[in-house]
């Protein structure tokens, strides 16, 4: 199965009882459509969906606040790209540390890890202890683009 396809079984988004093979961009479109629906029963998670323009290229961003974590998706390419998990680890005697790990995708991109670390630090500094799952699918991994994403997410934060 190509890596850009995903097998899911969810009756809430697609209103079916059988697993569906769909492209990631179709999944993002379906989630976005569910978010646009005003009824709370179709997508009960607090969320924000917006776009920013960086270097004349549109970046779509979705921020979701689940009960147990935050999800941020930023994409220029219509796919999820690199998926990271970031969390705060508290020590008894020392200052907190932040752990960022790549779940899927590019492991040799330190700027992506830095982006996740900046966001989990902002979440932690606001008083929340929820971890962050961050998905970044970009054509341009420049510092300017990643800074713009971090700034936009912080400006539109749900924590």
Of the candidates 123, 58, 56, the one whose C-alpha atom is nearest the C-alpha of residue 88 is 123
Judge residue 147's burial from the number of C-beta atoms within 10 Å of its C-beta, 0-12 exposed, 13-18 middle, 19 or more buried: middle
Write down the residue that tokens 């971890």 correspond to. 131
Same domain, 88 and 124: yes
| Distance between CA atoms of residues 49 and 158, nearest Å | 11
Same domain, 109 and 69: yes
Same domain, 73 and 7: no
Same domain, 22 and 70: no
Per DSSP, what are the bridge partners of residue 51? 60
* Total count of domains within the chain: 2
| Distance between CA atoms of residues 73 and 75, nearest Å | 7
Which tens digit of pLDDT belongs to each residue from 13-26?
444 444 444 455 55
Same domain, 23 and 101: no
pTM of the model: 0.74
Which tens digit of pLDDT belongs to each residue from 4-63?
444 444 434 444 444 444 455 555 565 555 555 443 344 588 999 999 999 999 999 999
Domain assignment of residue 8, given as a range: 1-40
């Amino acid at each position: 199965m190509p890596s850009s396809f995903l097998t899911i079984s969810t009756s809430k988004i697609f209103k079916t009882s059988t697993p569906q093979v769909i492209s990631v961009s179709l999944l993002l479109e379906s989630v976005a459509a569910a978010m646009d629906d005003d009824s709370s029963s179709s997508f009960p998670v607090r969320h924000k969906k917006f776009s920013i323009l960086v270097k004349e290229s549109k970046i779509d961003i979705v921020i979701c606040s689940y009960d147990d974590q935050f999800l941020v998706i930023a994409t220029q390419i219509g796919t999820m790209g690199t998926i990271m998990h970031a969390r705060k680890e508290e020590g008894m005697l020392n200052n907190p540390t932040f752990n960022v790990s790549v779940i899927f995708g590019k492991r040799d991109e330190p700027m992506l890890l830095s982006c996740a670390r900046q966001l989990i630090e902002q979440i932690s500094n606001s008083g929340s202890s929820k971890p962050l799952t961050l998905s970044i699918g970009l054509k341009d991994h420049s510092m300017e683009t990643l800074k713009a994403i971090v700034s936009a997410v912080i400006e539109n934060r749900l924590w």
